[in-house]
Structure 1
Amino acid sequence: MNFITQIFNILNDQLLKMTWLYDIVKLLVEKVFRLDYSSKLGGSVHFFIYDTIKIFILLSVLIFAISYIQSYFPPERTKKILGGIKGLKGNILGALLGTITPFCSCSSIPIFIGFTSAGLPLGVTFSFLISSPMVDLASFLLLMSFFGVKIAAVYVIVGLILAVIGGTLIDKLNLEKYVEGYVKEIEDVDVEVEEMTREERISYSKEQVKEIINRVWLYILIGVGIGATIHNWIPKSVIQNVIGQNNPFSVLLATLVGIPMYADIFGTLPIAEALFGKGVGIGTVLAFMMAVTALSLPSMIMLGKVVKPKLLGIFIVIVSVGILIIGYLFNIFSYLIV
């Protein structure tokens, strides 16, 4: 068992955490840029270069792999899978299928419209809408590289639970009448799903890598820049006073700060890493990440075009309360996973 653990730790360090890249960038900062690695400026430059390269390498590899898997589950096939299942099982399946779709919150809205127009239960579509931008296999592996297995697993599990509970509550409240009429009137065309060849799947996966990187590269750079600033320039005492464990409103503040932002989880991770490194509670960090990915202001504006204000408000309240509960509970029981 010890041998297996050692092999896993080596693979985790070299493939996910990329300690080899960390050391190379450290040499680059010290030998080429002539900066003291332990200084604020040198540390910031190292953080920015190392995290940026690491995220783009992991992102390219993981999105390719996830997209290859996703090629077996196009929206048409997903609709067919979800169409015959209702109730709690449907919510669970909707949340799980959301994990194999590497969409940001805004790009999930058209899929949501397609599912709704196809007559899928509203609760199932909302479970999908919550989990799709927040939880996927790529984010799990990226989280492992930043925070380790326990925290990555916790994030995925609580994200799925939130998606299932949120969808179930919306289903029980019978809110179908609050979906905009034109969405229901959209003709659902039953497109025959064509099987792709291996070459087509590889080509599709490459295109997905290009598309997603083109969509998120700026947010990644911004996120890494903010993370580098927090990590090296903002004193730990300031962070602790604002959103540290001693502030009872830390989770609420992190959630409110996260909502107006628009970024994939890939752009959020460097900020979360820096906050965690400054001693911010894991529950507060999770709340921030979930608010950014599930409740971003642009996606709520888009969702407001397809559902009426009452349904939008209920959705925001359910997800926000869920995020707050998750954040406070994990701050209280952080000693179990950190």
Structure 2
Amino acid sequence: MSDTALPTPLWPALKRHRVWLVSAALLAGLALVDAQQASDSAVFAARALAGTAPFLLLSIAIAAWAAATGADNLIARAFTGRPLVMILLAALAGGLSPFCSCGVIPLVAALLAMGVPLSAVMAFWLASPVMDPSMFVLTSGVLGLDFAIAKTLAALGLGIFGGFVTHLLAATPALADPLREGIGNGGCGGARVRAPKPVQWRFWTDPARLAKFRQEAVKTTLFLAQWLLLAFLLESLMLAWIPAETITALLGGTGLGPIALATVVGVPAYLNGYAALPLVGGLIGQGMAPGAGLAFLVAGGVTSLPAAIAVWALVRPRVFGLYIALSLSGAFLCGLLFQLWASV
């Protein structure tokens, strides 16, 4: 086929629905080599989705409500005041903000370009991918309330830890001018900081905001459903094909080794914040230490390959190195503390 035939509506459609297609291809491939496992995986995924449905619906409602009311604009208020206060507020805002993954990078670029201290931006940057209200609800449904609370505290702790370490290093030349040359217009995310709009809590009185709520609800439903379906299919295969003894030997126990291994493995193996939850649940069910599970989720959420590539494109190498070091060391500490708490 010639290059002139490629720019058609087919490729964007395939790209937009690639996760659904991967799930369909996975089931089709299973049906060819093991029809019984294909049937078992489909039933497993359907039952898991049904069991998660109440939490999924609440998560969708929270995300749509935040978009319709403009509550996510409150993030701008965290970046004013003294540096140490900003670190605390930025970590809190990052841990609670319902930002989509595509909005964090341009927002961070805008904050740095506007002169917000790198320490406060780092606190927000580290905490934001780990937890948000929707993620809290789904984590509670999949892994339990204790794990959801631990993950929330990990997000806040990681943000505060990274912010304070960055603050101590802020005077060094290595952290001067953190953005790469040509980066700094802030994109769509930066507008929330430059000119935050007022929050309208009674969004249903405004037709435009009501339409926004509906659009966000549909978009979030499709996004979560596609990733959870793939995750539950992979979990079914993991439970069927990976012996529990193997998981226990590698990631079980209470030592430092399983937590350190899960921290490192979380970087390349992490799929998506929502898709990772059922996988970790399955691993814990087969013997994975809870601390290792938390370390995997925290490290993967902050330093997954897509996120790392975006960060690399945004900041200078020294800042990128600090970001990775803080992410991995912070995730390890979070996993260790959670494991100590769980063993009490």
- TM (norm. structure 2) is 0.76
Counterpart of 1:59 in structure 2 is 56
CA contact (8 A) 1:106 1:299 kept: no
| Whole-Å separation in 2 of the counterparts to 1:329 and 1:97 | 23
| Whole-Å separation in 2 of the counterparts to 1:329 and 1:322 | 11
- 1:218-277 Cα shifts (integer Å, max 9, x gaps): 432222122112233322111112222177522222222221245332111110110111
- 1:85-107 Cα shifts (integer Å, max 9, x gaps): 23232112112222343335454
| Whole-Å separation in 2 of the counterparts to 1:145 and 1:245 | 25
Amino acid at match of 1:306: L
Counterpart of 2:113 in structure 1 is 117
CA contact (8 A) 2:109 2:179 kept: no
Matched, 1:331 2:339: yes
| Whole-Å separation in 1 of the counterparts to 2:271 and 2:100 | 8
| Whole-Å separation in 1 of the counterparts to 2:222 and 2:176 | 36
| Whole-Å separation in 2 of the counterparts to 1:241 and 1:266 | 26
| Whole-Å separation in 2 of the counterparts to 1:147 and 1:260 | 22
CA contact (8 A) 1:303 1:312 kept: yes
Counterpart of 1:292 in structure 2 is 300
Counterpart of 2:75 in structure 1 is 78
1:7-156 aligned at under 5 Å gives the runs 44-55=41-52, 58-69=55-66, 71-75=69-73, 77-79=74-76, 81-156=77-152
Counterpart of 2:253 in structure 1 is 245
CA contact (8 A) 2:110 2:184 kept: no
CA contact (8 A) 1:243 1:280 kept: yes
User: 1:146 offset after TM fit, Å?
Assistant: 2.2
Amino acid at match of 1:122: L
Counterpart of 1:212 in structure 2 is 220
| Whole-Å separation in 2 of the counterparts to 1:169 and 1:72 | 32
Match of 1:179, SS state, is coil
Q: Does the C-alpha gap of structure 1 residues 278 and 191 become closer, same or farther in structure 2, counting only changes over 3 Å?
A: same
Counterpart of 2:197 in structure 1 is 193
Amino acid at match of 1:73: A
CA contact (8 A) 1:264 1:293 kept: yes
Output the aligned Cα RMSD. Answer: 2.8
Counterpart of 2:317 in structure 1 is 309
* Count of residues paired in the alignment: 296
Q: Does the C-alpha gap of structure 1 residues 120 and 248 become closer, same or farther in structure 2, counting only changes over 3 Å?
A: closer
Counting aligned pairs with the same residue, the percent is: 23
| Whole-Å separation in 2 of the counterparts to 1:59 and 1:202 | 20
Unaligned runs of 5+ in 1: 1-38
User: 1:203 offset after TM fit, Å?
Assistant: 2.8
Counterpart of 2:183 in structure 1 is 183
CA contact (8 A) 1:106 1:302 kept: no
Counterpart of 2:285 in structure 1 is 277
- TM (norm. structure 1) is 0.77
Q: Does the C-alpha gap of structure 1 residues 186 and 64 become closer, same or farther in structure 2, counting only changes over 3 Å?
A: closer
Q: Does the C-alpha gap of structure 1 residues 245 and 272 become closer, same or farther in structure 2, counting only changes over 3 Å?
A: same
Counterpart of 1:223 in structure 2 is 231
| Whole-Å separation in 2 of the counterparts to 1:195 and 1:251 | 41
Amino acid at match of 2:151: Y
| Whole-Å separation in 2 of the counterparts to 1:54 and 1:176 | 50
| Whole-Å separation in 1 of the counterparts to 2:156 and 2:135 | 13
CA contact (8 A) 2:95 2:132 kept: yes
User: 1:147 offset after TM fit, Å?
Assistant: 2.7
Amino acid at match of 2:277: L
